[in-house]
Amino acid sequence: MSAAVLGAAAGTVSGRRELRRRRLRRFVRHRLAVASAIVLALLILAAAFAPAVERLLGADIRNVDLTALLQGPSLAHPLGTDELGRDLLVRLLYGGRISLLVGLTAAIFSALIGAVIGILAGYFGGRLDDLLMRFTDGVIALPILPLLIVLAAIDLTKLGLPASVANDGDISLYRIIVITALFGWTGVARLVRGATLSLKEREFVRAAIAMGASPWRVMRVHILPNAISPIVVATTLSVGGIILFESILSFLGLGIQPPIPSWGNMLTGAQEQMTNAPLLMIWPGLMIFITVIAFNFLGDGLQDALDPRALSD
């Protein structure tokens, strides 16, 4: 291998390292984004250790204790108990597992759908672009919350699913993920389409096409990796909105169904105890608020850090 090729390879690696350093510096300057990343890491860590906390406190999230209804904070129950005598802290941690799982999983699937549609529309253009973008515009025009409410209320047995499957406790979790993923991809699709339109005119893409690379290889190897920044930003920003949608549906009784706890259905169970035990609503409501705000600030920080127009700063 010639010295010129080795030098070019070394320069490429050095350039990528410098680019990563610049992006990290720009992200660190966004103090709210850094604080949000720390908060989200702590929330995810706390949710991951929910079973350990449950064993430590000797509590069971599904065990109803009629002798311990609406108790205040104590050593045995650090945040008190709910309207059925269940430990509030443990249910809050398990609810975080469900809400974060729904938000992250649905956001990732939405990003995958949007990335595929955006790359196809931007790369091939023409009638396919018109068709996919008009379809995207149609989905954007839909009233999302009323539509989600209607879809979440559909009886699955009437769609042909066996009653044993339709009435399974976990089916509500899967349904919320699928519904939100199917209607949450439009922002990613538009961003990826714009990035693809720009990238396909770049020299390295034109060179790959001239060398005989197939469209699928060009899109997979050359365009998608270079369009990953807007995908990451859009996915991060969408997580908060999905968690909010899940909480609304669960609060209305159409989302995650008890006894599986989520922050939304914890609010549903607490609404009748607002005067007697307001903390039952305050804690899950506060968790929803903190998580949604943190994901939004994190998305803003990533957007600033990954913006190619600002990397020279």
Asked whether the predicted pLDDT for residue 267 surpasses 50, the reply is: yes
| Nearby residues of 60 by Cβ (< 8 Å), 6 or more positions away | 54, 86
pTM for this entry? 0.82
Identify the pLDDT of residue 262: 85
Mean pLDDT calculated for residue range 220-248:
85
HSE value, Cβ hemisphere, 13 Å, CA-based, for 24: 6
Identify the pLDDT of residue 307: 67
Taking alpha carbons only, the member of 188, 206, 195, 96 closest to residue 136 is 188
Cα 238 from chain centroid (whole Å): 6
Mean pLDDT calculated for residue range 173-200:
87
Residue-wise pLDDT for 157-171, tens only, equals 777 777 766 666 677
Integer angstrom CA distances of residue 137 from 118, 126, 133, 140, 145: 13, 16, 6, 5, 17
The 10 Å CB-count burial string (b at 16+, else e) for 269-299 is: bbeebeeebebbbebbbebbeebbebbbbbb
Identify the pLDDT of residue 309: 56
Identify the pLDDT of residue 44: 92
Mean pLDDT calculated for residue range 4-20:
55
**Two tokens, residue 283:** 């804690």
**Two tokens, residue 33:** 């984004």
| Nearby residues of 129 by Cβ (< 8 Å), 6 or more positions away | 121, 122, 193
What is the CATH superfamily name and number for domain 93-310?
A: MetI-like (1.10.3720.10)
In which band, very low, low, confident or very high, does the pLDDT at 172 lie, cut at 50, 70 and 90? confident
Residue type, 45: L
DSSP 223: I
Residue-wise pLDDT for 23-41, tens only, equals 778 888 888 889 999 999 9
* Sign of the alpha-carbon torsion through 80, 86, 90, 95: negative
Identify the pLDDT of residue 42: 94
Mean pLDDT calculated for residue range 131-157:
84
In which band, very low, low, confident or very high, does the pLDDT at 3 lie, cut at 50, 70 and 90? very low
Taking alpha carbons only, the member of 96, 92, 89 closest to residue 40 is 96
Looking at per-residue confidence, does 83 or 170 come out higher? 83
Average pLDDT, the chain: 82
